[in-house]
Amino acid sequence: MTSVGKYLVMIYDNEAMWAAAGPPAMEANNRRHEAFAAANGPAIRGGGQLGESETATSIRPDGSGGFVVTDGTFAETKEVMGGYYLIEAADLDEALEIAKQVPAPMGGVEVRPIINGG
């Protein structure tokens, strides 16, 4: 018997490339995501687009029982997490087949199994 699992598909984008491409590229990509959602609706358990990396707030332990809260993402990188889908699939192979369909023209996706919760 196959055990269905949940997987997080993280979408990474290059924000500078999106900024240079402008609104028409963003609108076209939104339509691609709508088509992806329509084609894979039974597997999708959630998802969303994230705000720009400049809107992020990072929290790290300070080593003495407190926390350091900083504006922005933790690391300098060209690609940042721009959105995600929570999907349900029979196994990793099926999850990868679904993830290959996720529009990510300015980056890529990463797939991880949800092992606790979700």
pLDDT tens for 20-48 read 999 999 999 999 999 999 999 999 999 99
Q: Is the pLDDT of residue 1 over 60?
A: no
* pLDDT for residue 118 is more than 60: no
Question: What is the reported pTM?
Answer: 0.87
- Which residues make Cβ contacts (< 8 Å) with residue 19, sequence separation at least 6? none
DSSP the chain: -PPPEEEEEEEEEEHHHHHHH-HHHHHHHHHHHHHHHHHHTTTEEEEEEPPPGGG-EEEEE-SSS-EEEEES-SS--SEEEEEEEEEEESSHHHHHHHHTTS--TTEEEEEEE--S--
